[in-house]
Amino acid sequence: MRPNGRHTAGASQLSTLRIWATCLLLLSAVAMSPTTAKAAPSQAAATTHVYLLRGVLNIFSLGLDTIGARLEAQGIPVTVANFVSWSSLADEAATAYKAGRIKTIVLVGHSSGATALPDMIAKLNQLGVPVKLAIGLDSVFKTRLSTGAERYINIYIGDGPGEPVRAASGLRGKLDNVDVRGSGVGHITIDKNDAIQRRVIAEIDAAIARSRGLAGPIAQPGAPRAAHSAAATAPARN
């Protein structure tokens, strides 16, 4: 018996619709898959702001831009600027903090940007704004920390131009001087070194975790380890 033409056409259209429906279901499943969906940043990350201060001439600290891009990929807002802007940045941070837009402030600097960190911290403290974490990369001048962040990490090259940060009398907060001599990094490359960048990001992630009341890792595997750590004290070098 020869099949009816209408019946054949109807069956063919129904089969096509079923195929399209199956494809749509598969696409929906892929779109909602946790392996492809990007998780929204936590509130603690979104209310953190990281200020990254470049050094002299604004062209030798471009590794800070890479760190900033990695942090932004985690949903953490950043500002990258030359170290000469530290005072105006402190004013901006204080305004945002007092308005409730920022709850956690983190500072990172390279070279002259690292040298400017204590001044920026001091101004923020004077404005009544706490600094959760500050990380200096090879500060080039003898630096004394008179007012502190909750934690200050100075990563420097002991046999290069970098200097340890010294604690002034009565300093509050934890100061760590981390000597990375022998690691193969130089003053111009320390901010661009992948292990250093991972250390910086791990410390920032841990600070954000602490702001939520959670413990966090101090450093990722392969990152340089602190040669000396002390609360409110640091080795002096004349």
Examine residue 210 and state whether it is found in any structural domain, yes or no.
yes
Indicate the pairing of strand 228-231 with strand 174-179: antiparallel
Residue-range definition of the domain harbouring residue 128: 43-231
Indicate the pairing of strand 174-179 with strand 151-156: parallel
Indicate the pairing of strand 48-54 with strand 104-110: parallel
N residues, the chain: 238
Q: What is the CATH number of the domain that holds 150?
A: 3.40.50.1820
- Please state, in angstroms and rounded to a whole number, the distance separating the CA atoms of residues 14 and 212: 55
Alpha-helical segments (H) within 79-130:
86-98, 112-115, 117-126
Same-domain status, 54 and 166: yes
Distance of CA 224 to the CA centre of its chain: 17
Same-domain status, 14 and 72: no
How would residue 13 be classed by pLDDT, with cut points 50, 70 and 90? Answer: low
Report pLDDT for 88: 98
Mean pLDDT rounded to a whole number for the chain: 79
Same-domain status, 86 and 130: yes
pLDDT tens digits along 21-42: 444 444 333 333 333 233 345 7
Same-domain status, 6 and 118: no
Same-domain status, 82 and 187: yes
Q: Which helix (H) or strand (E) holds 82?
A: strand 78-82
Examine residue 113 and state whether it is found in any structural domain, yes or no.
yes
Q: What is the pTM of this model?
A: 0.74
Examine residue 237 and state whether it is found in any structural domain, yes or no.
no
Same-domain status, 15 and 81: no
Same-domain status, 226 and 160: yes
Same-domain status, 78 and 24: no
Q: Which helix (H) or strand (E) holds 207?
A: helix 194-211
Same-domain status, 83 and 188: yes
Examine residue 236 and state whether it is found in any structural domain, yes or no.
no
Contact 50, 204 (CB under 8 A): yes
Q: Which helix (H) or strand (E) holds 166?
A: strand 165-167
pLDDT tens digits along 126-178: 999 999 999 999 998 877 888 889 999 999 999 988 889 999 887 889 999 99
Same-domain status, 149 and 225: yes
What's the total number of domains in the chain? 2
Place of tokens 């981390």: 178
Examine residue 23 and state whether it is found in any structural domain, yes or no.
yes
Nearest to 64 by CA among 223, 208, 206, 193: 193
Structure tokens at 181: 């001599």
Same-domain status, 114 and 166: yes
Nearest to 177 by CA among 215, 146, 136, 214: 136
Same-domain status, 160 and 177: yes
Neighbours of 133 (CB within 10 A): 26
